[in-house]
Structure 1
């Protein structure tokens, strides 16, 4: 499986405040980004997989909401996570 507990732990350690910090906006955004990149690669090979395409669209929307929340809450944290994940160009 592409996303096991070890990979999740690594993402939360890198972008969260602690290993058990699964609820912060930064850790959730990082997890969504990882999942979005995986689904994007899947859809490049399987362009008729409409269920996955819908899931990808929903995930992008959820990530966008979290980024908007973080932008309004603390601009410095927003800029840090965007730079770390390389989202905005």
Structure 2
């Protein structure tokens, strides 16, 4: 599997408050970004995989909702996570 327990802990340790803190918006956004990048790579080689395409669109929507929540809650945290993950150009 592409997303092992160790990879998840590493993502949450880097972007969240700790490796076991899976509830922070930053940690979830980072995890969604990792999954989106993986699914995008899969879709480049498998263009007709519509189930994966739908999953990708749903993940992008979830990430967008979390980013909207974060911008309303704390703009500085929003700017930090966007800059750290490179979501905007």
| TM-score of the aligned structures, taking structure 2 as reference length | 0.99
Name structure 2 gaps, 5 residues minimum.
Answer: none
Q: CA RMSD for the aligned pairs?
A: 0.4
**Alpha-carbon distance in structure 2 between the residues aligned to 1:49 and 1:4:** 23
**Residue number in structure 2 paired with 1:8:** 8
How far apart are the structure 2 equivalents of 1:71 and 1:38?
25
**Counterpart Cα distance in 1 of 2:52 and 2:22:** 24
**Residue 19, structure 1, aligned to residue 19, structure 2:** yes
- Cα displacement (A) at 1:35: 0.0
Flag structure 1 segments of 5+ consecutive residues without an equivalent.
none
**1:1-89 counterparts in 2 under 5 A?**
1-89=1-89
Residue correspondences, number: 89
Q: How many Å apart are 1:61 and its aligned residue?
A: 0.2
What is the distance in 2 between the residues matched to 1:82 and 1:72? 14
TM-score, normalised by the number of residues in structure 1: 0.99
